Amino acid sequence: MMKTLATTLCTTLLIGTATLTATTTQAAEFVAADNSPGTVVCMAVTSNKPITLSATLRDVRMSKKVAINKLHCNDMELGKFAGMHGFNKSAKYLNLDTTGKTSIHDLAKTNDSTILVVAGSK
């Protein structure tokens, strides 16, 4: 009886923690400032889906190398932008190292639905 109760309690806590984590990281909404190729690629980075990012790079005819070395999103280097907002899958696809940089990310602050305008370099 106690073993079943403990298992149920642990499972409930794990599901609750996973749900809370999923909702806090998706709180910010990203909106494109314009439809320039740089902004389109920056928006693809915010999708955090490598397939979307790959297709967008192909559509705007931009190589990964050019995106990494030349593109700035919101006046930040692509790696810094991806690391700051937690787009780890996009960063991994672009072979960007976001683990070497330390930053404090306030999860409570991101819980409100913030709209962030994304602009790419021209």
Range of 67's domain?
A: 26-97+108-122
Question: For residue 74, is it left (φ>0), alpha (ψ between -120 and 50) or beta?
Answer: left
Residue 41 vs residue 1, higher pLDDT: 41
Does any domain span residue 64?
yes
Over residues 52-89, the pLDDT tens digits come to 999 999 999 999 999 999 999 999 999 899 988 899 99
Mean pLDDT for the stretch of residues 22-48? 81
Task: Identify whether 8 is part of a domain.
Answer: no
Is 82 inside any structural domain?
yes
Residue 7, domain member (yes or no): no
What span, in angstroms and rounded, lies between the C-alpha atoms of 8 and 2? 10
Taking the C-alpha atoms of residue 29 and residue 116, their distance in angstroms, rounded to an integer, is 6
Domain count, the chain: 1
User: Exposed, middle or buried, 73 (CB in 10 Å: 0-12/13-18/19+)?
Assistant: buried
| Helix (H) or strand (E) segment spanning residue 4 | helix 2-25
Look at residue 1 and tell me if it is in a domain: no
Instruction: Tell me if 38 is assigned to some domain.
Output: yes
C-beta separation of 116 from 31 below 8 A: yes
Phi-psi region of 48 (alpha: psi -120 to 50; beta: other; left: phi over 0): left
Residue 59 maps to a domain: yes
**Beta strands 72-73; 76-77: pairing state:** antiparallel
Q: Which has the higher per-residue pLDDT, 3 or 41?
A: 41
pLDDT at residue 24 in the model: 39
